[in-house]
Amino acid sequence: MPTVTLNPNSADGTLSGSTEVTLVSAPSSGVNRLVRWGTIHNADDMDIMLSVFMANGANRRVLFQSTLNPGDTWQLDSNDVIPLDSSRSIIACLAGPVNSQEPDWTSGWADQTIS
């Protein structure tokens, strides 16, 4: 009978203008990463255009793309689970620079291994 082990993890940081930032990295081979939550908060005093993608090498699949007003927070619903394998990660970037403060982000996931 296989054994399933779940190891919870999280990360946080700030976005950096139009430079892509990894919110959740790809797991190692043989591990399924189950992304449970993520938030990006616009603490700036102007609107930002936010894009969140699932990345597979140079390929991008849009998970979210919209404008966040000052004080707004984008949130990955905790009822959703995004599975990642060793070739996929979740990244985010802005359409351009911010006025005074880069958005901050947090993410959480569990790594699933079967032995």
State the CATH number of the domain containing residue 29. Answer: 2.60.120.340
Which structural domain range is residue 87 located in? Answer: 4-114
Record the pTM. 0.88
Q: How many domains does the chain have?
A: 1
CA dist., res. 36 & res. 49, Å (int): 23
Instruction: For the chain, list the strands marked E by DSSP.
Output: 4-14, 21-24, 32-41, 48-56, 59-68, 73-76, 82-84, 89-94, 104-114
Q: What is the pLDDT along the chain (115 residues), one digit of tens a residue?
A: 556 677 788 999 999 889 999 999 999 988 889 898 899 999 999 999 999 999 999 999 999 999 999 999 999 876 778 899 999 999 999 998 888 899 999 999 988 887 7
**Residue 100, CA distances (Å) to 22, 28, 43, 45, 49 in order:** 22, 37, 9, 7, 15
